[in-house]
Amino acid sequence: MKQVRQAEWSRITGGPATRPLDAALQFIRAHAAALLPVYVLALLPMALAMMLFIDAISAEHRTGLFLPCLLLVASLFWRWVGLTFLQRMVVARIAGRRTPLPLGRWPAILLGRLLCNVALTWGSVMVIPAYWGLFTGSFLAPAILEDDGPIYHPVRTIFSWINRSVGRLSLITTILTLLLLLSMLAVAGMHGILLSIILPSMLNIDPSELSITFSSIAWFLTVGFGLFALFDFHWAVASVFVFHDLRSHRLGNDLVGRLAALRAGGVA
Amino acid sequence: MCANHPDRRAIGVCVETHQPICAECSTRYQGVNYSKQGLAILMARRSANRRRSPLWFTLFSWCAALLVPLWIYMGYLFFHLGGQSVIDIMQTMRNSP
C-alpha cells in the first residue's frame, strides 16, 4: 500500500520546482467543487473581520481598530482549522484513503501554525524566520498526517527537508511572489483601461465616481485581500504537493519512479 | 547447551535474554553476542528511543504553549500597528501639498 502511494506521489512530484505548483492547479481544477466550499468556510470569518478592519481604517477610527483586530486574530485560528481539513482532503483524494487526525494532534498543529505565523509576520524583517515560518506552517499538517509518532519527528523532518532544499523552495517563493506582483499589476492595469478607455469611450459613462472608489484605500485593501485569498487557496493545496515533492527528492522516490518508467519503456 | 538446539554446545550467552546460544544462533554485534530474540529486543528498544521526543523539544513545546497569550497578542499587535500605519499614511498623503 505504501509503495503504491509512493509511486502515486512520484508520478505527480519530482522534476522542476514548478511541477508541484502546476500539479496543484490541475488538482484544483479537477476537484474545485469539493475543495472550494471548505476553503470558503475557512476564510469566511476572516473575510468578515477584514471588512470591519477595512471599514475602521477608511473611517480613520483608531480606537475602532481594537475589535476588528481581535476578530482577525480569532479568525486566523478558524482558518488554520479549515486549511488543515483542506490539506487532509487533498492528501486523502490523492492517496485514495482518509488518514485519521486524532483530536490530540490538533493543539500541536494550531500551536505550530501560531508560532509560524509570528515568525512570518514579525520575522519578515529578517527574511529567514519568515521563510521557515511559511514552509513549516504549511507543511505541518501533511507531515503530521504522514507520521503518527511524537510531534518531534514530523517537525524535525520538515526542518531537515527545508534546510536541504533551500534552492528549490527559494525558487518556489520567488515564482509565487512574482505571480502576486504580476497579478497586482494586472489589476491596476485593468482599472486603468476601465477608467480611461472602456467606460468613457465605449460605454459613454462618466468614470469620475468610479475613479474615486478605485483610488480609495478601502478598494486597495479589498483587492489585496481578494488576491491573498486566491493565492492562499492555491498555496494551501500546492503546499501538500511541494511537501511530497521534497519528500520524494529526499527519499529518492522520484528516481524510483523514473527508473520504473524507464523499465516499463516509457519516457522518464 | 544451546537454548534453541539442545544437542549443540553453547558458545556464549545472549546479553539481552541471558540464554546460552550456539554458534549458529549467535550474532556478534558491537563486540557482544545476541540471540535472534535478543536482537529483536534491542531493535524494539532502539526504535522506542528513536520515537521519543528529546527533552529540549518537550520543554520548548511547553514553554511555547504557556506563552500562547503572548503569541496571540503579537498577532493582534501586527494587525493593529498595520492598521494604524495605513491611517497614518492616508493622513500624511491628504495633508501633503
Asked if the Cβ–Cβ distance from B53 to A152 is below 8 Å, we say yes
Alpha carbons A162 and A246: distance in angstroms, whole number: 8
Q: Alpha helix locations (H) across chain B?
A: 36-51, 55-66, 68-95
Alpha carbons A79 and A38: distance in angstroms, whole number: 10
Alpha carbons A210 and A188: distance in angstroms, whole number: 14
C-alpha cell at A238: 500546492
- A184 within some domain: yes
- A202 within some domain: yes
Q: Using CB atoms, which residue from A70, A118, A153 is nearest to B71?
A: A118
Answer yes or no: are the C-beta atoms of A116 and A126 closer than 8 Å: no
Alpha carbons A135 and A242: distance in angstroms, whole number: 9
pTM assigned to the model = 0.76
Measured over the CA atoms of residue B47, residue B52, residue B53 and residue B55, the dihedral's sign is negative
Interface contacts A/B by beta carbons within 8 Å: 67
Nearest to A140 by CA among A129, A131, A152: A152
Statement: residue B91 has pLDDT above 80: yes
Nearest to B56 by CA among A143, A118, A163, A155: A155
Q: Which of B49, B68, B80 to mutate to test the interface with A (most CBs of A within 10 A)?
A: B80
Backbone angles phi, psi at A159, to 5 degrees: -60, -40
C-alpha cell at B16: 539481552
Amino acid at A176: L
Residues in chain B: 97
Nearest CA in chain A to B93: A217
pLDDT, tens digit (0-9, with 9 covering 90-100), for A242-267: 988 888 777 765 555 656 666 666 54
Other beta carbons less than 10 A from residue A75's beta carbon: 20
**Residue B71 touches chain A, beta carbons under 8 Å:** yes
> What average pLDDT does the segment A189-212 reach?
82
pLDDT, tens digit (0-9, with 9 covering 90-100), for A76-135: 999 999 999 999 999 888 877 777 888 888 999 999 999 999 898 887 766 677 888 889
- A120 within some domain: no
DSSP secondary structure string, A49-60? HHHHHHHHHHTT
Residue A237: domain span = 2-103+166-263
Q: Using CB atoms, which residue from B74, B84, B87 is nearest to A118?
A: B74
- A141 within some domain: no
- A117 within some domain: no
Alpha carbons A216 and A65: distance in angstroms, whole number: 18
**Residue A67 touches chain B, beta carbons under 8 Å:** no
CA within 13 Å, CB half, A191: 17
**Residue B85 touches chain A, beta carbons under 8 Å:** no
pLDDT, tens digit (0-9, with 9 covering 90-100), for A123-178: 776 667 788 888 999 998 988 888 777 888 888 888 888 888 888 888 898 999 99
How many structural domains are present in chain A? Answer: 1
Amino acid at A228: F
Tell me how far apart the terminal alpha carbons of chain A are, to the nearest angstrom: 23
